[in-house]
Amino acid sequence: MTNPSQRGAALAKLHIAKKELVMDEDSYRALLVRHGAPADDPSARHMRLQQIDNALQELISKGWKPRQRVAHGKKYSPKTRHKTAMETTKSDALRAVWVSMAKAGYLRDGSDNALLSWVRKQSACAGKPIDAIEWLDQDDALVTTLLHRLKSWHKRLQRLRQQSTGVN
């Protein structure tokens, strides 16, 4: 039994290949018939997974290059275990508070990209736009202010959770 998502993915690749190779409709239908689609209705929907895979192999042999999936979105904070206490920076502390807030469930997104987005908004309000968290270490006053804001936000969320659950 074939997994429907595998078949759907293979069909999607087949259509992408057709588009990227700029195949005309007649050539595409002929390809499908060569690989098992009925001649009276040459459509990929009538083909089994193995037949679709064979058609894809032919398109690859003709020059189509399937793209690898690109990891999008979340970039998680780098580990700082290798740093000694003397090497740890305030931006590392900022990351640590962010990660602990995410683990506690206070944040929807605990990634480094989300932290950077928050830092950008906060630093823009201070009139000092920042485009990388590592740049914070060059401005001690700003990183201290942001760390204080983040810790205050964390404490507020903890108090709200305690009040809502009734736990002290």
| CA neighbor of 32 nearest in space, from 45, 19, 22, 21 | 45
Radius of gyration of the chain, Cα coordinates, nearest whole angstrom = 27
Separation of alpha carbons 60 and 67, rounded Å? 11
Instruction: Judge whether 8 and 49 are in contact, CB under 8 Å.
Output: no
- Domains of the chain by residue range: 4-61, 90-165
For 1, the 3-state DSSP assignment is coil
pLDDT (0 to 100) of residue 134: 82
pLDDT in tens, 68-90: 765 555 555 555 555 565 667 88
**Model confidence at 168: pLDDT above 60:** no
Among residues of the chain, what percentage have pLDDT more than 90? Answer: 39
**Model confidence at 162: pLDDT above 60:** yes
**Model confidence at 30: pLDDT above 90:** yes
> Mean of the pLDDT values across residues 47-72?
85
pTM: 0.51
Separation of alpha carbons 31 and 165, rounded Å? 63
pLDDT in tens, 122-153: 888 778 888 888 888 888 888 899 999 999 99
pLDDT (0 to 100) of residue 53: 93
Confidence of residue 118 (pLDDT cuts 50, 70, 90): very high
Window from 56-60, 62-66, 70-74, 102-106 with minimum mean pLDDT: 70-74
